Amino acid sequence: MKRSNRRDVLKKMVAGTAAVTAAPFINSFATKETNSTELKLKGNINHSVCQWTYNFLSLDELCAQVKKIGFGAIDLIPPRDWPTLKKYGLHSSMCYIAGKVSLTEGWNNKNFHSQLIKDFNETIPLVKEAGYTNLICFSGNRNGMDDETGMKNCVEGLKQIIGLAEKNNVILHMELLNSKVDHKDYMCDKTPWGVELAKKIGSPNFKLLYDIYHMQIDEGDVIRTIKDNHQYIGHYHTAGVPGRHEINESQELYYPAIMDAIIKTGFKGYVAQEFIPTGQTNEEKLAALKDAVRRCDV
């Protein structure tokens, strides 16, 4: 299967050439699995799914399927698409800024601060107005920069917008991404670095997006890390290791135990599925999403 990642999708979105291959009709991929009674969720986990991993559907189609499965949120949605979510009564569990989104050109580089500050200052009030809370951000790549300098730059830049975030009850989440396989040279690639950044910013409105897939690759020891650092984590992503595919028996992580550990920390935020489904048909891919939500609903 051709490797894909969120960075590739973002590049296409920025260029205005994102190819969203939608099925002609939602009913054309409704199977017994995806059309059956919605999951009876326990309510201990707030479930979501990242749009980019299901972008073979239009957003309208994905919204309809999310409602059918029985959870209530979609992750990584920019302001222009919030009205579609609201039409279906769904929540944007993690928002993008309204401007250019880049994983590689982030807060660790002062050259990007002026544009980032402008974009976040414009978007933070929009997030509040829409009734949402979470807004993602990225460290950016090292490009030869040492981690200490990068952290100082992140603190300097983020402190210029954190006051506005606090005023609007918006939480900024910096995502932890692996630099070993998917995002070579990304700076915020270890939990200790992200935690130290959160401590230096010193605001309850700055958290980490702990991506379980990425951190299993770069550091492992997932459950212990979550228990020891949960106060700095505001959001979670999932995917199977290796491969970033389904979270079933084909991969090395046991997600029910991880979800149980998350619940025991008192976490009340969202867990978003971010695996790339391997099924050959839309029916199989949607069945995988339903199965992943079921496995995480502990």
109-144 pLDDT, tens digit each: 999 999 999 999 999 999 999 999 999 999 999 999
Residue bearing tokens 């228990």: 227
Structure tokens at 123: 């978007």
pLDDT band at 12 (very low <50, low <70, confident <90, very high): low
Evaluate whether residue 30 is within a structural domain: yes
Cβ(187)–Cβ(145) below 8 Å: yes
Q: Which domain holds residue 234?
A: 6-296
Evaluate whether residue 36 is within a structural domain: yes
For the chain, the domain total comes to 1
**Cα–Cα nearest to 286, from 104, 64, 123, 40:** 64
- Report CA dihedral (172, 151, 4, 115) to the nearest 10 degrees: 60
The 10s digit of each residue's pLDDT in 154-198 is: 999 999 999 999 999 999 999 999 999 999 999 999 999 999 999
Question: CA 97 to CA 78: how far, in whole Å?
Answer: 6
Q: Could you tell me the pTM of the whole model?
A: 0.89
Which residues, including other chains, have CB under 8 Å from residue 90's CB and lie 6 or more apart? 63, 66, 67, 72, 73, 74
The 10s digit of each residue's pLDDT in 71-107 is: 999 999 999 999 999 999 999 999 999 988 999 999 9
Evaluate whether residue 1 is within a structural domain: no
Residue 152 is part of a domain; what is its CATH number?
Answer: 3.20.20.150
